[in-house]
């Protein structure tokens, strides 16, 4: 926890701690931004499996399945576009 510096040495230690924290936060952000697309893809794959099972069980039609798959594709494109914008803003 940072407080008022007791002197130049404490100030330098606090500054180094802040720099380390910033570095770790950047690493976490990079890691999370890479994880996001994988989670979205996994969610879409699970929904597709669920839909295929519903069609197999007669709870849904193939037309309904096709409409929902198209909606998933649109959602994925939007997510990828937003993720790309976030990555570009971070680089700037």
Convert the pLDDT of each residue in 32-84 to its tens digit.
Answer: 777 777 788 888 888 888 888 888 888 888 898 889 889 988 988 888 888 88
Query: What is the DSSP code string of 56-79?
Result: HTTSS-HHHHHHHHHHHHHHHHHH
Domain hosting 53: range is 37-92
Total structural domains within the chain: 1
Domain assignment present for residue 5? The answer is: no
**1 pLDDT exceeds 60?**
no
Is residue 11 within 8 Å of residue 5, measured between CB atoms?
A: yes
Domain assignment present for residue 6? The answer is: no
Taking each helix axis as running N to C, give the angle between helix 62-91 and helix 8-56, from 0 to 180 degrees, rounded to the nearest 10.
170
In a 3-state reduction of DSSP, which class is residue 1? coil
Tokens of 30: 């990079």
Q: Is 19 left (phi over 0), alpha (psi -120 to 50) or beta?
A: alpha
């Amino acid at each position: 926890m940072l407080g008022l510096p007791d002197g130049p040495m404490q100030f330098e230690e606090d500054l180094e701690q802040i720099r380390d924290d910033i570095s770790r936060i950047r690493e976490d952000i990079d890691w999370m931004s890479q994880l996001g697309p994988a989670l979205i893809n996994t969610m879409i794959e699970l929904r597709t499996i669920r839909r295929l099972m519903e069609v197999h069980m007669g709870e849904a039609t193939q037309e309904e399945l096709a409409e929902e798959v198209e909606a998933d594709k649109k959602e994925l494109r939007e997510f990828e576009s937003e993720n790309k914008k976030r990555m570009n803003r971070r680089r700037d």
